[in-house]
Amino acid sequence: MAQKLDENRPIYLQIKEYVEDSIINETLKAGDRVPSTNEFATFFNINPATAAKGVNELVYEGILYKRRGIGMFVTENARQILLAKRKEEFYEHYLLPLKDEAKKLEISNEQLVEMIYREGNELEN
Amino acid sequence: MKIEVKNLTKSYGDNTALDSVSFTLNDPKIYGLLGRNGAGKTTFMEILSGHLLPTKGEVLINDEKPFDNRKITESICLIKEGDNFKKDLTVKNVLKIYSYFYPNWDQALANDLIKEYNLKLTAPIKTLSKGMESALGIIVGLASKAPITIFDEPYIGLDAAARKRFYELLLSEYEKQKRTIIFSTHLIDEVSLLFEEVLILQEGKLILHEEADTLRHNTCAVSGSIEQVEAFIEDKEVIDKKELAGMMTAYIYENMEHAKKSGLAVEGVPIQELMIYLTEQKGA
């Protein structure tokens, strides 16, 4: 997991992704408390309001819920929602750039598919 | 505390340091005040702190002018680049004087920080190194707990580790108690993650006032062949552009996600670079 934030991208998005990744790889499970905005601010040395913006978007999207005076917690369905969302984004974020680069290098779709299987076989062996 | 700046102008003879600057800071946030040398930052901060009178226009803090107004000035602490303290005083005297002036003064915090930065209470200011004097400035600024605390390049002579510690302290004090912090610095890369809003002055004018994350979201650098880039930026606000070997990179105001749909290579622009592109002198 990245310990340093990328100054080129909105910081609140990176905080959001940090929590999302933790839920997807199950470091944070349903019902777990997520760090407070101050804890995020101290860890990453960022403005607490920026951290709050990322966390609040997750509340809005049903990934986290707020318990007054106690903190933010992961909802029951959080992981399912995130997996569905990430799968949808997978094509745009990973396959399109891959296809663009392949096109530039004159790699055909057939060759691409073949590479995917080749890599898979190596991993299985 | 609410800070209203209305058509603020300050001239020194023929020189205009501030030229009809207007903006409002409503909430206790951490503001980054940026700009090149001579942009008017220090003049602005001195007027805000009630140390200088404007030539025209005004600054109102909770509807009152700060100049010669004790009620307002006791809620503002300005820490400058240097010469914050009288040379013949000792560290202990300095802390005593400031503790009388600032109603929210936090002596326990001051004591902790004096230890942390290894300052000797009995040392006269004139015997302190540049870095130690800066450390004392930082301690006074933080311990003042002034609702408006202003740091104007407060760390001449402080090494990277001591600066990092200062950022951590600033953040933890801010987390404990929100207050308006105005931070002016040239070391933008080091602190830009702390800013909630950014203001940029150029030649006495305010050229930008925006939320820091909105800036990161809505500015980007697009690269591709000259024709492609030119076509894409035709109807957009261009900050700067450069060409090399048939390729062009243009820095523009545009949402990063939108720009990515164009098929051009898109990168974000850090605030430090944005400041440079915005304030570079063209054709000089």
What confidence tens digit (pLDDT) does each residue in B235-278 have?
Answer: 999 998 899 888 999 999 999 888 888 888 899 898 998 888 88
pLDDT digits 0-9 by tens, B196-226 = 999 999 999 999 999 999 998 899 999 999 9
Q: Residue B151 and residue B139: Cα distance in Å, rounded?
A: 11
Amino acid at B276: I
CA distance B142 to chain A (A): 17
Q: Give strand ranges (E) for chain B.
A: 3-12, 15-25, 30-35, 56-61, 76-79, 148-152, 180-184, 197-202, 205-211, 219-225, 237-244, 247-253, 265-268
Q: Do B269 and A8 touch (CB under 8 A)?
A: yes
pLDDT in single tens digits along all 125 residues of chain A: 456 788 888 999 999 999 999 999 999 999 999 999 999 999 999 999 999 999 999 999 999 999 988 999 999 999 999 999 999 999 888 998 898 899 989 999 999 989 888 865 555 54
Relative to beta strand B237-244, strand B265-268 is unpaired
Nearest CA in chain B to A96: B263
Q: Do B267 and A8 touch (CB under 8 A)?
A: yes
Q: Do B171 and A53 touch (CB under 8 A)?
A: no
Q: Please identify among residues 101-120 of chain A the ones whose CB lies closer than 8 Å to any CB of chain B.
A: none
Contact between A49 and B29 under an 8 Å Cβ cutoff? The reply is yes
Size of interface A-B (CB pairs under 8 A): 60
Tokens 């804890």 belong to: A39
ipTM above 0.85, yes or no: no
